[in-house]
Amino acid sequence: MWSPSISLYSRSVELTWFILSLSKESTHPLFLAFLYSRKFVAVIVLQIFIISHAIAELNQPEITNKIEWTNLELNIIKSLSLNALKDKPDPSNQVINNPLAIKFGKYLFNDTSLSQNGAVSCATCHLKGKGFTDNKLVAMGARAGIRNTPTLLNVSQQNWFFWDGKKDSLWAQALSSIENPAEHNFSRTEMFHLLTTHPFYNKQYEEVFGEKLLSDELLGIPKIAGPNSHLDGLIRWKKIPKKQKKKINQVVANASKAIASYVSTIKSKSTRFDQFANEVVARGYSSILTNSEKKGLKLFISQKTGCINCHSNPIFSNKDFHNIGTGIPAKDNGRSEVIDAVIHDPFNCLGEFSDAKPEQCLELKYTKKDRHALSGSFKTPTLRSISKTAPYMHDGRYKNLQEVLKHYANITKNKALETDLPIMNINKEEQDDLISFLLTL
């Protein structure tokens, strides 16, 4: 950015004094001649320009230690701002933007009736005040799970859901959590019973999906049964006639779509980083972030750390799966363990309960299926509101960001060959700067 020199300031001041001294005697012939000349206008414009620049420069607290940004860096910063976030459609859910579905979904999201012990709702683990996480090592629903609760902020931007991406839509994810014995532990027929017999939900369902759920259809359907239920529940599920099973599946899929519609409205608000990004892109500089935060940002978007390679876009996630050395073979090895289930899931994008056309299911159709290549891979998590979402990693193994940074800083040559990570040489001060920056998100 252009910056006026000291001598230019001095000349500017001298010129101003000269004009002012002439103007004291307004009848001075030299002043009158000058006043009506074009040069006068030019001088005044030049004075305003120089003085405004001087004021702007003096207003910067870091004039002696200014951090410069290249055009490439500014473009990257722009791409990370919430202003660059576009709505992502979900063709598999036709009620995604339906206000009635959003309202219905919000009730379901917060209702502990959707659990076998009557104590677990979606909001039990996804707490608004905690960045829609629970700050626990692993989720605690009906019992302790195996994975850390991911945030729901901007979750509708993702292509895959859960840490291993075992679901390809938000509604299929919601249904999976409801049925999971470690989460809601609510069987498929229990959900069907609830939606049919609960007067409020029955009415809500009819308003959104245009179909009344009749209690007659409950005849012969066991109270607790489902493909993900315990053994007795599974046996009972298998005995239900195919036509009735299809009806139950359609109803629970629809209710899950309503939950997904509500969850899709959970979005990040503008942060200090966003305000900085908007200002620095417009003006070339900004003092909204501190020097340490800016240095952290510079490192974050540089190839010295390569953070930006995976934590890209306004949600700070490339939505893809990577092996960063956190998988545990034979215990929890991420994407490679679920890929077959993803392909054959009846609730996936190509399934009969999806509203999408087959040609809209590109992510599923072309997803990588090589289990060897996917070994140890987990989805890149968003970094938005990271100050509220501790502990970190898929199993919550790191209680703070210092431990996370230590993980990346300690990648050895051998570890780099085994994982997707390069060797990262960042000292303690740089790690602190990176953390300072992350806390602005």
Partner 1 sequence: MLRFLILFLFSILLHVSSQANVLSTPWEQTENSSKQLYKVQMHCESPLNTGEFQQCHLIINALNASRGTQSLEHLKILIGGGMPAHSHGLPTEPIINWSHASKTYLIKGLKFSMPGKWVLHFYIDDKENNIKDVVSFNFII
Contact flag: residue 201 with partner 1 (CB under 8 A) = no
Q: Using the rule CB under 8 A, give the single segment among 92-100, 162-170, 198-206, 307-315 that binds partner 1.
A: 307-315
Binding of partner 1 by 77 (CB under 8 A): no
Q: How far apart are CA 434 and CA 321, in angstroms?
A: 23
Figure out which of the listed residues 8, 32, 146, 373 binds partner 1, where binding follows CB under 8 A. 373
Cβ-based nearer residue to partner 1, 313 or 431: 313
CB atoms within 10 A of CB 208: 22
Using CB under 8 A, which of 1, 33, 214, 362 touches partner 1?
362
Choose one: 42-50, 96-104, 243-251, 364-372; the region binding partner 1 (CB under 8 A).
364-372
- Choosing from 20, 370, 413, 427, the residue that interacts with partner 1 (CB under 8 A) is 370
Give dist(CA 40, CA 221) in Å, integer: 92
Q: Is 309 in the site for partner 1 (CB under 8 A)?
A: yes
Distance in angstroms between the alpha carbons of the first and the last residue of the chain: 27
DSSP letter assigned to residue 385: T
Q: Are 421 and 408 in contact (CB under 8 A)?
A: yes
Structure tokens at 32: 């009158």
CB 179, min distance to partner 1, A: 29
Does residue 436 belong to the site contacting partner 1 (CB under 8 A)?
no
Q: Report the C-alpha gap between 211 and 89 in whole angstroms.
A: 25
Taking alpha carbons only, the member of 203, 19, 148, 175 closest to residue 92 is: 175
* Closer of 146 and 373 to partner 1 (Cβ): 373
- Applying CB under 8 A, among 420, 426, 432, 439 the residue interacting with partner 1 is 420
The residue from 148, 169, 323, 436 that contacts partner 1 (CB under 8 A) is: 323
* Closer residue to partner 1 (CB): 149 or 317: 317
Q: 245, 57 in Cβ contact below 8 A? A: no
Residue from 319, 379, 384, 394 binding partner 1 (CB under 8 A): 319
Question: Counting contacts by CB under 8 A, is residue 416 touching partner 1?
Answer: yes
Q: Dihedral sign for Cα 124, 126, 128, 133, please.
A: positive
The whole-angstrom separation of Cα 424 and Cα 27 is: 73
* Contact partners, residue 252, CB within 8 Å, separation at least 6: 175, 178, 188, 191, 192, 195
> Which residues are CB-contacts of 158 (< 8 A; sequence separation ≥ 6)?
170, 315, 317, 319, 379
Stretch that binds partner 1, among 97-105, 235-243, 262-270, 302-310 (CB under 8 A): 302-310
Amino acid present at 75: N
Whether omega before 391 lies within 30 degrees of 0, making that bond cis, reads yes
Minimum CB separation of residue 321 from partner 1 in Å reads 8
**Rounded CA Rg of the chain:** 29
Least CB distance from residue 421 to partner 1, whole Å?
A: 7
Q: Is 367 in the site for partner 1 (CB under 8 A)?
A: yes
By beta-carbon proximity to partner 1, the closer residue of 72 and 231 is 72
Stretch that binds partner 1, among 1-9, 112-120, 194-202, 301-309 (CB under 8 A): 301-309
Q: Please give the size of the binding site for partner 1, defined by CB under 8 A.
A: 27
Nearest Cα residue to 221 out of 202, 240, 234: 240
Piece of 5-13, 90-98, 312-320, 400-408 that binds partner 1 (CB under 8 A) = 312-320
Region at 258 (left for phi over 0; alpha for psi -120 to 50; beta for the rest): alpha
Q: Which one, 98 or 313, has the nearer CB to partner 1?
A: 313
Please report whether residue 346 would count as binding partner 1 according to CB under 8 A. no
Containing 377, the helix (H) or strand (E) segment is strand 377-379
Interacting residue with partner 1 among 203, 365, 399, 428 (CB under 8 A): 365
What 3-state class would DSSP assign to 290? Answer: coil
Site residues, partner 1 (CB under 8 A): 303, 308-310, 312-313, 318-323, 362, 365-370, 373, 416-422
